[in-house]
Structure 1
Amino acid sequence: MKPIVGRTSTSPSNLAKNFTELTRRVQQLCDKRGDIRDKIDRVKQQQEPTRECIGWLADVDRIEKQAKMIEEDHLVDKRRFKGWFPDTARAKLGERVVEMIQRVKELQEKSDFEGGFVTNLPPEIVKMRRAPNLSAETSANRNLKKILDCIGEKNIRKIGIWGIGGVGKTALMKAMNNSPKVEKMFDFVIWVSVLKSWNVRKLQVQVANCLNLNLDMSKMGDNDNIEDNEVSTRLHRELEGKKYLLLLNGVWERVDLSKVGIPSINQDSGCKVILTTRELKVCHEMETDVEIQVETLSNEESWKMFESKVGEIVRSPTIKPIAEEIVRECGGLPLALNVVGGALRKVEDADIWHNLLKKLKSPDMSTVNNVSDRLFGSLKVIYDQLKDSNIKNCFLYCNLYPEGHEISKSQLINYWRAEGLLPSKRTLEEARVEGLVLLRDLGDLSLLEKCEDGRHVKVHDVVRDLVLKMTSPGGEESRQMVRAGLCRDEIPDDKDWEDAIRISFMFNQLYNLPEMPNCPNLLTLLLQSKDYLSSRLQVIPESFFNHMPSLRVLDLSDTGIISLPSSISNLVSLRALLLKRCRKLKALPREVRALKLLEVLCLTENNMACIPSAVWELTGLRCFKFSSEVISLSDDVINLNGILSKLRLLEKLDIFGDDIKDETKKSWEVLQKELGSLTRLSSLRFRFGNASDLKHFLLNSKQWRHGKLTKFVFYVGHEFPNTIPLCGRFTDQCKPYKSCLGYEGGSDGDNIIPSAVMDVLLRSEFFALVGHNELRKLSDLGVENTNGLKYCRVCKCDAIENIVDEAGLRANAFANLECLVLQHIKNLESICRRLAMQSGTCSSSSFTNLRHLELCFCNGLRTLFTWQSIPQFLNLELLRIIGCDNFVEMISVDDVESSSRKPECVMLPKLKRLELCFLQEFVHFSKGNVSFCWPSLQEVSFFVGPKLEFFPFGVDSAPNLRKIYGPQQWWEALKWEDDNVKLKFSPFFYPIDDRLPNDLMNIILAHALGKALANACNIL
């Protein structure tokens, strides 16, 4: 029989060749899967994989498993027959290999994903914002009620809120944004800060972020002022037919919403627009239907606000009369009351109160008639009260950022220190602490505003206007040239450069620089772009740095520069050189070695071929950061013994890459063996080739032995941390934690966890264990070694059967753990199998702080909780179970059936989000007559097989449920048409089996969803 043309021969004699071909193709397929998962992980904040992509990834996972089984059979075949003669079994193996090759080819062809493999996440209904509590009898609360009433009126489409700067318009808008009534009335709320420097592009980006749309900035043109019709059309398409509330904060002039992509607001759509502005005429230009003026506070409200800011001292008989006059001078403006009150908080000296009142009533202030000028005067008085010139300069520095920008505290403090505003003799850590105290003081004075995340601060636009006025030509403070965020490409006059001590073109669209500016007094130059894709700055003139002898801070991050000019050697006073994400910069010039006073050098996320050799000659370095996809060292490093000892001042060292080039591994060994010589090191991120190298460091590092290395991220193993399916990159997860350890088991050729790894684990908050095949219980690591853990990830550790046994529970193992991620552990049976009970109450604190639990592709798992163990997880907020093929039930009731004490209700009181996906064997949440209560549950992603018997989410059991994501068939069967339905039920996951008949899906609908979906309209 002639072989079929174009097909791989199944002849047993071709088995070895075909198997090699299969191995090659499977590896290619897995590499492609890894690339796709990398991309999914990078965009996970805004996008999610499509149903087609999820199905494809699942198919690849199955193919990989089947290929491994074939590989095992092939090894058996080789041992049995030594390759000498075939038989029937061998022929069948050959057929399986050929069939598998064909299936792999098909999956390779499908991997192109013509429509893309990611889609946008559904937007949040509303993003909560930090806002003051409004008392019931205040004018602000009355205004809030008035606005909410207007929103409910069908014929009112646009509402304008107007009033002078600092009167509380933004606070009112935030309170409205957070109102529960708003969340119930709209599909989602879009918050847009318009600001003075607005343009259509900036507004489009903000709207897209609220909608979780990923805009490719590299395809949006070079100029932010160019109207992008394609983006406008896309936004229009996304918003069409939706019921949304658009909040425009800080409008200065008419905004054509149609150019942004906002559909026409009409009565039938139910959409509303609310804007804040300082001038009534802007409301008219925006064609608002109702205008609500935010007036200054009454005397009574002013006094209450001032009293709450200053404290009980304001009631003192000697101070109260003065305080009452100060309140009157603030003119009922909340910003002025907060700033002045902050300056006098808990001040008991009446003379200080008298002095401040005298300044507020000075002749300059008494001639002021304009309310906004009076506000400026109040702020200026408080600024003048700052005694320390360094504190003043630190405050002025905050205004180098764009209007409305959230300023990173750590970045700001680093700038302050490098310029010399914080004492240079302090260590980096001491400077950080001192900087945080200073930021707190400025916050208490209300000169800076706190942001929601606690890691950023903001400057109120009125305060920023005051600073810009003071630092402009003719102002009383040293000159600052601020062009941050203006998206202009013109170069300021030479005179502007000459007089400035600080210059900021941060987030601007500057594409060229002057040839040789004369800047004798310049201390800080900020030229960073918003992101490297949109940067237009590519060339720095050769003589640009010739006349900047005093420059201390230079930030070129996210720019498109190709090289640095040789004139950089003239920056003899430079303390900080920041080159983060400069993707086109391939190397540093040799002239960099002249920067002997340089203390901070940041070369993270770059594409440099190797660590520049000039770095090892910068003996003044205190902080060096370098990261690239592949780490390489220059050829001469291996011959430079003692190379790190030259950098004896280093306090922070961060060198990271996904891999180390083979040809430089010897140089890398030299480098890592010298880490112990750094006697000032307090922060280290580094990859150790194996546990022996880690042990060498621990034994030789004085800083480690004495506990002075307080922040560390250690990687042990050359291949770790590669991306693991359905899990973010290790580096991203490390960010909230200061002490992290990742260990790839078996990298030393055995399966015993080395003592060096255990020593580090004892001090770690984050631990990732990959590919270790000895432990049967994670609690065997030792309670004392894991007590400090807050995040733990375990992957591909097949020997693990459960996380904690009864002994571990009695010892309160993992009592402080906040997040537990378990992936690809094929023998995992449970989290904790048994739990001793005393007097009917939980006798262990294990997992009582756990907020995030994720289990992916753990095929030995059949059940997750017992009714006894579930009280351990009272703080759980997110539960995710994905791809566990044999998972049957959520809560085992075997113990219940044999016990006289049956639970009346199973409860996870704080659970907000539940994801059950790709669970083909899932039958029920529990057997028996057990009810469930989900008081905090808001969102369910529910995609399981046809064996599901019961859907335990109803109006009574889950009163706060807002969203259900399920398979396409459910969505099509429901066909919601009522605009008032608040339970969002939308297609999300790709069906496990396209061949499921419609009648079977109807049965699933009838039995699984039951009354919960039938009563969806009434759930709120």
Structure 2
Amino acid sequence: MKQKIDYANDLENNYKRLIEKAEKLYARREDIVIEADKYKTKQLTKECDLWISRVTNGEEDVRELTTKYENEQSKKAKWRRHSKRAKLSKSMVEKCEELHSLWLEGKFERGIMVEKLPERVRTLHAAKIEDKPSLYKVVEEILGLLKDRDVKRIGLWGSGGIGKTTIMRNLNNHEDIAKMFDIVIWVTISKDRSEEKLQRAITDRLKMNMEGITNPDEIAWRISKELECKKYLLLLDEVWNILDLPKLGIQDNQQGFQGEKVGQNVNLPSIEPIAKLVVRECAGFPLLIDKVASTFKQKKDNSFLWNYGLTSLRRWDSFKVQGMDELIEFLKFCYEGLDSEDKKFCFLYGALYPEDCEIHRDYLIECWRAEGFICDANKFSDAHGEGHKILQFRDARDEGHKMLLDLINVSLLEESEKMNHVRMNKVLRNMALKISSKSKTFKVLVKTREGLQEPPNAVEWQQVNRISLIDNKLCSLPDLPDCNNVSTLFLQRNRDLKVIPDTFFGCMQNLRVLDLHGTGIESLPSSVSLLKCLRALYLNSCISLMELHYLEELELEVLDIRGTGINHLPIQIGGLLQLKCLRMSLSNFGRGQSRDVKIHPNVFLNLYLLEELRIDVDPNNREWEALVEAIIEEVATLKCLTSLSICFPKVDCLKSFISKSPLWKDFRFTFQFSVGYHDSISYGILDCFEYQRCFKFANGEGVNPVISEVLAETDAFGLIGHKGASRLSDFGIENINRMRVCLIEGCDEIETIVQGNSVDRSALEWLEKMCISNAQKLESIWEGPVHAGSLTRLTSLTLQRCPKLKKIFSNGMIEQLFKLEHLSVEECPEIEEIITNSENTGLEPEALPKLRTLVLSGLLKVESICTDDSLKWPTLERITISRCQLLTRLPLNKENAPYLRCIEGDQLWWTALEWKEDAIKGRFESFFKSN
């Protein structure tokens, strides 16, 4: 009876305990569910699923007990119901014990998650092709082949950009594929992707546990075992080289197809070098290689026949291959698919340049515009309020860049490794020349790099529309060639050409583009004045040209006279009223016989249509200073200016310009401003990136508000030899936040870049690349707190010759650098550790997730990169170490840095390195390269 009374009296307390236990249990369940939702590739274990089900059932019991309690509490005369209260209270005690046991079981020491089984198909983003019959037809054809049991491999060949990847992605997503295969594996292969990376991609897709397994043969065996009972489809995108699939673990009973076309003779010592040249001539086109290889197979091991075949192939037209015409027709498919005649002409125009020539984008677009290939009636506008309608040069350049991109997207032109340049594949160039030879409106005479000493004959001049004689040894030209149909004449880099006959241009009334740059001419002939249609004239690098004559009556839009022998401001420029783009240099001004720089007033005031102006100077010759100040006064008033590249000798000169120019802050205005004198090689980093607004400030002092105002509009900034500022942030955080590239060179008073204590917001939000060199007092990059959002876009950091620099990543700055790809620290003798513990406490293993290259050189005190090997280095590919004698350990272990493939350093340094285990050294031994 006493026990029942106790239960009855403790009803309220037991109810509170029940609710507390239940809430605690539900919280653990909620935590598990939230954790499970984080991982889309994982699922709860069956044990955990069962536990959640039991918690849910217990929740029903708790609700039932709660309802009974609430009913009991609402009734009066409780002393009459001791029995019911005692029974309810006892049930609560028992349920509390049950809930507590469930809570303890919910700790799951072995984890709550397991990997989901791989889905059959991972849907990929793919452009719709239902309205593109040519691509849709290929997908349907491949589907038909996949249903054929005898077909094991399918090759999809074609030039870049014609839609191979789009076809593959649509095939991957096709509803029939999921029905046909147990699993579909997609792997994108880059040029430099190793077999280990390919194996990893396959094992990741199959969700295979490969922890601790690094032997490629073992991985291949496991892959083959995993797949042997599956019907699978392996889709390989961007295959550049022959793949040894069995070596990766992809087994089948097919024989390899290496050497099928040309036989084993290709490996003979006398044949192999020729075979490589043959492949090179094919310019990477698999279809062309296939056709050519079939022909060369007949030559067997006869090196004479191989050599003859190579010579014939280089002549192209004399090389007869079965199917070659069909190949050309295939390539012409991309050309015929262009949506306008102008765009086709733009492609054919690229063949005027020498084979493998890198062509500057803006120059090519200027030629296209001058020829009339770029024209959009919707973009005509009134330029100066007088009703004179013109096509804005900036709009035409934008239109040209779009056309250029269209040609690149269909692989008719290629991106060049050289910044802001394009090139034409030699096979496509040959095709363009062949198309031009059959055209009535685009006939060309192209003789480039042939060593010509004599000009073409009279008939050749007469029969064509465009002539290219680039890079020859011409010494003379005909007196009066009959070529009224010629619209472009390229004579550039004929350095032996010193004189052009006075009547040479007498029958070229339709000439629109004339390029004479790099020739040895000393003057222009008087017949130049007859070129009424001439729109673009290039005389740059004509170092012997001293005067500009006979141009006043022309309607030139583009004139380039950089690097000529002209040592004064030609007054003739002021007569070119239609000029829209002018590039000139003042490097020779004041030199030679004329010691005084002549200033002709109002030369630039007359150029009211001028949109783009570039004036180069020689920093070692100050004779141009007074002249450029006068030029700037006039240029500041131009109403159509959209781009200006110029050097201001003093800050006051810059101040005068920005106060008078109505346009320079317009969002479409681009500039390359320099202030002060400096050695041009010091700011090379700023010229290595294509940014619209570049500002170089050299040998200045203090913080001038004019500099800050321009800096606020700048993408790439170079501060060179500056005095009177200890921090970059002294120029104002709001003024440096737009910067994407920053170079600090020889600034002896700079102590840090940003002082975080003096700002209350993020800084350098858009900075992508920073290079600090010869900063004698630099002690850190960042002082004080690093606000969230600062430096989050930084991809490259270079520190050179900073003798007082002791710390690189301060105050948790490293946590913001999740896009940093390249870190280089050189000649900084006070640095002892790259990542210091005191500045980066609690650093996560995922820090620096994008770092690919690490360069350390001349760090005499550095003892470690970081104190332990806890960082994962998930993308690190290359480490270069030199003259770091105290660096005896690398932060590497058996599992981290999975993509590290090169460790470059001194052999003695490598031999002296200390390792936790021999197995770690063994893992990286093959990657070491002595420097």
Instruction: Confirm or deny a common fold (TM above 0.5).
Output: yes
> Which of 398, 408, 411 is the equivalent residue of 2:350?
398
1:736 aligns with 2:720: no
Quickly say closer, same or farther: Cα 1:830–1:434, change in 2 above 3 A.
Answer: same
Aligned to 1:882: 826
Q: Determine if contact 1:906/1:932 at 8 Å carries over to the other structure.
A: yes
Aligned to 1:468: 433
Q: Which whole-Å deviations, capped at 9, do the CAs of 1:336-368 have from their partners, x for residues lacking one?
A: xxxxxxxxxxxxxxxxxxxxxxxxxxxxxxxxx
Aligned to 1:506: 470
> Which of 745, 763, 766 is the equivalent residue of 1:795?
745
- Amino acid paired to 2:789: S
- Amino acid paired to 2:515: D
> Which of 343, 354, 363 is the equivalent residue of 1:411?
363
Quickly say closer, same or farther: Cα 1:436–1:690, change in 2 above 3 A.
Answer: same
Map 1:120-199 onto structure 2 (within 5 A).
178=191, 180-181=193-194
- Helix, strand or coil at the partner of 2:702: coil
1:585 aligns with 2:549: no
Aligned to 1:598: 556
- Helix, strand or coil at the partner of 2:664: helix
- Helix, strand or coil at the partner of 1:704: coil
Q: CA shift at 1:814, angstroms?
A: 0.1
> Which of 565, 582, 598 is the equivalent residue of 1:624?
582
1:654 aligns with 2:614: yes
Quickly say closer, same or farther: Cα 1:409–1:255, change in 2 above 3 A.
Answer: farther
Aligned to 1:338: none
Aligned to 2:93: none
> Which of 887, 891, 912 is the equivalent residue of 1:952?
891
Q: Determine if contact 2:799/2:824 at 8 Å carries over to the other structure.
A: yes
- Helix, strand or coil at the partner of 2:681: coil
Q: Determine if contact 2:158/2:164 at 8 Å carries over to the other structure.
A: no
Q: CA shift at 1:850, angstroms?
A: 0.4
1:685 aligns with 2:673: no
Aligned to 2:81: none
1:715 aligns with 2:678: no
- Helix, strand or coil at the partner of 1:398: helix
Rg: which structure is higher?
2
Map 1:996-1011 onto structure 2 (within 5 A).
1004-1006=912-914
Quickly say closer, same or farther: Cα 1:559–1:1010, change in 2 above 3 A.
Answer: farther
Q: Determine if contact 1:483/1:505 at 8 Å carries over to the other structure.
A: yes
Map 1:68-87 onto structure 2 (within 5 A).
none
Aligned to 2:456: 492
- Amino acid paired to 1:585: S
Quickly say closer, same or farther: Cα 1:257–1:404, change in 2 above 3 A.
Answer: farther
1:281 aligns with 2:235: no
Q: Determine if contact 2:553/2:575 at 8 Å carries over to the other structure.
A: no
Distance 1:523 1:816 in 2: 45
Distance 1:288 1:1017 in 2: 44
1:641 aligns with 2:585: no
Distance 2:267 2:469 in 1: 27
- Amino acid paired to 1:753: V
Quickly say closer, same or farther: Cα 1:255–1:482, change in 2 above 3 A.
Answer: farther
Aligned to 2:506: 546
Q: Which whole-Å deviations, capped at 9, do the CAs of 1:171-193 have from their partners, x for residues lacking one?
A: 9xxx99826348999xxxxxxxx
Q: Determine if contact 1:809/1:835 at 8 Å carries over to the other structure.
A: no
- Helix, strand or coil at the partner of 1:802: coil
Quickly say closer, same or farther: Cα 1:179–1:468, change in 2 above 3 A.
Answer: same
> Which of 850, 867, 870 is the equivalent residue of 1:910?
850
Distance 1:910 1:502 in 2: 50
- Amino acid paired to 1:742: K
Q: Determine if contact 2:475/2:498 at 8 Å carries over to the other structure.
A: yes
Q: Determine if contact 1:721/1:742 at 8 Å carries over to the other structure.
A: no
Q: CA shift at 1:481, angstroms?
A: 2.0
Quickly say closer, same or farther: Cα 1:589–1:436, change in 2 above 3 A.
Answer: closer
Q: Which whole-Å deviations, capped at 9, do the CAs of 1:114-137 have from their partners, x for residues lacking one?
A: xxxxxxxxxxxxxxxxxx9x9999
Map 1:175-574 onto structure 2 (within 5 A).
178=191, 180-181=193-194, 276=289, 278-279=291-292, 280-285=294-299, 287=301, 373=325, 389-403=341-355, 405=357, 407-423=359-375, 425-442=390-407, 455=420, 464-465=429-430, 467-472=432-437, 475-484=439-448, 491-507=455-471, 510=474, 512-529=476-493, 537-574=497-534
Distance 2:745 2:523 in 1: 42
- Helix, strand or coil at the partner of 1:712: strand
- Helix, strand or coil at the partner of 2:706: helix
Q: Which whole-Å deviations, capped at 9, do the CAs of 1:189-246 have from their partners, x for residues lacking one?
A: xxxxxxxxxxxxxxxxxxxxxxxxxxxxxxxxxxxxxxxxxxxxxxxxxxxxxxxxxx
Quickly say closer, same or farther: Cα 1:823–1:260, change in 2 above 3 A.
Answer: farther
Aligned to 1:28: none
- Helix, strand or coil at the partner of 2:862: coil
Aligned to 2:865: 925
Quickly say closer, same or farther: Cα 1:524–1:775, change in 2 above 3 A.
Answer: same
Distance 2:794 2:629 in 1: 39
- Amino acid paired to 1:872: Q
Q: CA shift at 1:551, angstroms?
A: 1.0
Distance 2:917 2:645 in 1: 49
Moved more, 660-669 or 375-384: 375-384
1:757 aligns with 2:707: yes
Aligned to 2:149: none
- Amino acid paired to 2:403: L
Aligned to 1:833: 783
- Amino acid paired to 1:744: A
Distance 1:166 1:792 in 2: 35
Q: CA shift at 1:698, angstroms?
A: 0.8
Q: Which runs of 5+ in 1 are unaligned?
A: 1-131, 143-148, 150-160, 186-246, 266-272, 290-368, 837-842, 975-1001
Quickly say closer, same or farther: Cα 1:881–1:524, change in 2 above 3 A.
Answer: same
Q: CA shift at 1:876, angstroms?
A: 0.8
Distance 1:577 1:721 in 2: 30
Q: Determine if contact 2:801/2:826 at 8 Å carries over to the other structure.
A: yes
Q: CA shift at 1:512, angstroms?
A: 4.5
Q: CA shift at 1:623, angstroms?
A: 1.1
- Amino acid paired to 1:852: S
Q: Which whole-Å deviations, capped at 9, do the CAs of 1:815-863 have from their partners, x for residues lacking one?
A: 1000111122222221123336xxxxxx511111001111111111112
Map 1:788-867 onto structure 2 (within 5 A).
788-807=738-757, 810-835=760-785, 844-866=788-810
Q: Which runs of 5+ in 2 are unaligned?
A: 1-134, 147-152, 166-187, 199-257, 277-283, 304-320, 381-389
Q: Determine if contact 2:678/2:699 at 8 Å carries over to the other structure.
A: no
Distance 2:857 2:674 in 1: 31
- Helix, strand or coil at the partner of 2:753: strand
Q: Which whole-Å deviations, capped at 9, do the CAs of 1:275-323 have from their partners, x for residues lacking one?
A: 926332234548599xxxxxxxxxxxxxxxxxxxxxxxxxxxxxxxxxx
Distance 1:780 1:260 in 2: 67
Distance 2:417 2:599 in 1: 51
Quickly say closer, same or farther: Cα 1:738–1:177, change in 2 above 3 A.
Answer: closer
Quickly say closer, same or farther: Cα 1:436–1:667, change in 2 above 3 A.
Answer: closer
Aligned to 1:935: 874
Percentage of pairs with the same residue: 31
RMSD after superposition:
4.7
1:767 aligns with 2:727: no
- Helix, strand or coil at the partner of 2:726: coil
- Amino acid paired to 1:936: T
Distance 1:385 1:962 in 2: 43
Distance 1:511 1:285 in 2: 43
Q: Determine if contact 1:939/1:962 at 8 Å carries over to the other structure.
A: yes
Q: Determine if contact 1:258/1:264 at 8 Å carries over to the other structure.
A: no
Q: Determine if contact 2:552/2:572 at 8 Å carries over to the other structure.
A: no
Q: Determine if contact 2:809/2:839 at 8 Å carries over to the other structure.
A: no
Distance 2:158 2:832 in 1: 62
Q: Determine if contact 1:912/1:939 at 8 Å carries over to the other structure.
A: yes
